[in-house]
A and B are shown apart, each in its own frame.
Chain A
Amino acid sequence: MTTTQPLELLAPLSGVLLALDQVPDPVFASRMIGDGLCIDPTSQTLCAPLAGVISSLQDSGHAVSVTDDNGVQVLMHIGLDTVNLAGQGFTRLVQEGQRVEAGQPLIEFDADYVALTARSLLTLMLVVSGEPFTLLAPDGNCVDVGQPLLRVSPGEATAAVAQEEGEALFSKPLSLPNANGLHARPAAVLAQAAKGFEASIYLHKQTQSANAKSLVAIMALQTAQGDTLQVSAAGNDADAAIKALVALLAEGCGETVAAPAQVIEAVAPVSSAALLRGVCASPGSAFGQVVQVAEPELNIIENGTGETAERDALTRGLLAATEALQTLQAKAAGSAQAEIFRAHQELLEDPTLLEQAHGLLAEGKSAAFAWNSATVATAKLFQGLGNALLAERAADLADVGQRVLKLILGIQDRAWDLPEQAILIAEQLTPSQTASLDTRKVLGFVTVGGGATSHVAILARALGLPAICGVPGQVLALANGKQVLLDADKGELHLEPDLAEIETLQAARDQQVQRRQREVAQAALPATTRDGHHVEVTANVASLQEVEQSLALGGEGVGLLRSEFLYLDRNRAPSPEEQAGTYSAIARALGTERNLVVRTLDVGGDKPLAYVPMESETNPFLGLRGIRLCLERPELLREQFRAILASAGLARLHIMLPMVSLLSELHLARRILEEEALALGLEALPKLGIMIEVPSAALMADVFAPHVDFFSIGTNDLTQYTLAMDRDHPRLASQADSFHPAVLRLIATTVKAAHAHGKWVGVCGALASEALAVPMLIGLGVDELSVSVPLIPTIKATVRELDLADCQIIARQVLGLEEAAHVREALRQYHAATVQTSPVVEH
């Protein structure tokens, strides 16, 4: 059977040769899979190095092996870690089992795509059947595809171990944990381990089986994550072999695999048949009926009615979508929402999307088909990158794609015809879906995806509706119209609420409404605790209109004017006169007896400024943000100081610097402020303070305190920087909780340092707007709470129900707790105790 004629293997690709030892991948470099060589390719079609049969070809197209009639088996693996591309960039030209000639094209790949997305393009050619070979071309040289490269001496492979006889033992079935199945690397590890046993060992997948000692046979099984596998063995050490290989498979064969599923289940909150649990995204409760939110199927006709007409249709659709998005930005429920729509609008101008769509139009496709194909393809590209966050953002692309598509197809983005008392249930609500809601009919939101800072959560809080996120997927199977009880405070959705539960919650809701009415009616009363301690409750605002609203609701001043509202939408800087005019109008509205705290420009890589070209940063949250950007471009800061100073004397003017982390930043800014004040001939400087939102500033508050007039704590950023958790991260957001004792300790440190120097401390982050946090913040010694405008009456009323002495006790207690959840629980208990006593006091 063996021929004496030596076999020459042809170069499968053109490129630069590299010794196997140099390949930066231990499994290949150690020759665990087999000996051979490596080519850094300059051609994009992998060709057969020898004639034979395709013995394995991965579904993902990045690896193929050819076996010739004498049993010589050659594996080619394109690139390193390319299994992660899941087939993207690879085109298979042959099929498993097919006979191929030497030099026949096997796989085409997109070298640029692979180079940009995978670790490397280094391509391995390995003689996995083990025959010795000699190299026909020296290392470091260029080779051309088809050139003879290796001379193999067939028939000299180590003889296959004789098949062990005897009854085969079988392992229990197990589920494959590897994300990409047993591809080359884990397969090699498994085969290597199997070779250590005398027994003949097979790996079984349903009706197929493979010799577990053969790498190629294992790969040919085409296993995928979650496949049920069994190991069988026959021979002396069969028992030991099965035990070892099952353990190896369970551990991932050298790959890191996700922790076993049962561990995850243990952590997740328990849901039962009558109760589904999630995370509270917006507090409150509601009894209503299920309304499942699903996008209607759109009927897209592929062929167009003439290129010009279709081109016009697309242009019209894009134009209409741009206008719609602009309108949505203007009336967005919050700045985060506005930003999302702004990003959507930018996507509409994306040249490559347009190019793709126009290309399809030129082929005679309809506008709808062309646009849909272009957006779907790009969204897929993002989903295919194997990154959960990017995949989630692909949802934004899909959203904007649908918007244009509906406009092209003439489908009204109707305000949904919702039934009354709707509790909306969705996998994830897109910004466009929520924007077209008739919110008067909606009582609450329940979503499978998202966290406390997801889009739906932001919207729900802006509307004051209860919402829970992170609910198990089975919620999507609930029938429309089913009566359910949403108790967002506890993060629960009751599927079979009993009458008593509903009545209790209904009563609580009525009480809430009455309470709200009472709070608004008493909004003008000062926020003074029962034992006479006054707390200043001011407003976070971004416009003159909000200032006026805040005054009507009992606001005692402005604790945070987000000055970037003057800048964010502009392509050109607002004129100094316009800026000065706005500040003066706000100051005038407040009058000389109220505080106006103007925060200087707080922008950066995460919220870029259209007219200030900024280099994009790898990590904008740790980049040129806030005061850092202002000091980098001092002319901006100078101009803003001048504009703010124009309102001096009209209100009690305070200037606040964001993102201060170093004392030198404060000194530099103060010098600029003093120069500008001098130039304007002002005698008294306005008060100058800093935001405490970076741990360094909080920890060094005693050093900062002598140089400032006040501190204001930005709890949102302070939390994300302290816990190193992105508050917009879908998986971490629920843990990036400002109630964490670490954050509270930094607040305590700040207050102590400030009071030691006779300076006041405010909190202008979201924590101040949470009624639950108020006793704790007051107990910690915070002097001012700057809250979102609609919550002013609530926070003031909350303060009036408290005793400073009690607050101090609860504050001391929570500082010693272990985690945010414990703090919340302690505060809830305290709250329950005070609410019970408060009606007595009121009468």
Chain B
Amino acid sequence: MFEKLQRAFWKALTPDLIAETVAAPTPSLLSASVLSALGGADNLKSQQRVALTRVRVQLQDAARLDEPALKAAGVPGVMVLGGGVVHLLTGL
């Protein structure tokens, strides 16, 4: 919510300086098996490609994350952070 507002505000004043990083959820960013390991598409608040090698997702409920299933789905590294934020290390 903060991010959204903040972006809206700064964008209004500095239109082309803030790159639109919150991409509309596109199914292509994550495969079906990865999605299900994250607790299903409806557990996903946002997804975003960051830092060259990562997909940053925000989960509604971090408890529904299934790390072994993620690895099985081909995500070599998973970094669970606070507030439902998870980095999926997908490589270059």
Contact = CB atoms under 8 A, between A and B. Distances in A.
Interface string B10-52: 1111111111110010000000000000000000000000111
Contacts of B89: 15-16, 40, 42
Interface stretch (A49-57, A493-501, A554-562, A611-619): A611-619
Contacts of B11: 605, 616, 620
A15 B77 contact: yes
B55 to A, nearest CB: 10
A69 interface: no
A114 B89 CA distance: 14
Given A115-B51, A393-B14, A396-B13, A352 B2 contact: yes
Contacts of B10: 382, 390, 393
Given A119-B51, A726-B15, A112 B7 contact: no
Given A347-B9, A393-B14, A608-B12, A111 B77 contact: no
Contacts of A140: 76
B73 interface: no
A343 interface: yes
B79 interface: yes
A346 interface: yes
A511 B5 CA distance: 50
B85 interface: yes
Nearest to A23: B92
Contacts of A393: 10, 13-14
Nearest to B54: A115
Contact of A42 (B7, B18, B78): B78
A612 B5 CA distance: 16
A42 B11 CA distance: 32
Contact of A119 (B12, B19, B52): B52
Among the interface residues B2, B14, B79, B89, which one has the most CB atoms of the partner chain A within 10 A? B79
A24 B18 CA distance: 24
A345 B17 CA distance: 22
A351 interface: yes
A387 interface: yes
Interface string A351-370: 11101000000000000000
Nearest to B53: A40
Contacts of B56: 112, 115-116
A111 B56 CA distance: 11
A591 B20 CA distance: 48
A355 B24 CA distance: 27
Contacts of B77: 15-16, 40, 42, 142
Contacts of A608: 8, 12
Nearest to B17: A389
Contacts of A16: 76-77, 89, 91
User: Which interface class (under 10, 10 to 19, 20 to 34, 35 or more) fits A?
Assistant: 35 or more
A773 interface: no
A111 B79 contact: yes
Nearest to B76: A16
B81 interface: yes
B9 A121 contact: no
Interface in A609-641: 615-622
A120 B16 contact: no
A532 B9 CA distance: 51
Interface in A31-83: 40-43, 79-80
A276 B11 CA distance: 34
A387 B10 CA distance: 12
Contact of B16 (A349, A353, A396, A726): A726
Nearest to A378: B6
Contact of B51 (A114, A618, A620, A621): A114
Contacts of B16: 618-622, 726
Given A120-B51, A140-B76, A393-B10, A115 B15 contact: no
Given A15-B89, A42-B78, 18 more contacts: A24-B92, A40-B89, A42-B77, A79-B51, A80-B52, A111-B81, A115-B50, A120-B52, A120-B53, A121-B51, A142-B77, A350-B2, A351-B2, A351-B5, A382-B10, A606-B15, A608-B8, A619-B15
25 contacts: A15-B89, A16-B91, A18-B91, A24-B52, A42-B77, A42-B78, A112-B56, A115-B51, A116-B50, A118-B51, A119-B52, A121-B53, A339-B12, A350-B2, A351-B5, A390-B17, A606-B15, A616-B7, A616-B11, A618-B16, A618-B19, A618-B20, A620-B15, A621-B15, A621-B16
* Smallest CB-CB A-B distances: 9 pairs: A352-B2, A115-B51, A618-B20, A16-B77, A42-B79, A120-B52, A619-B16, A115-B50, A120-B51
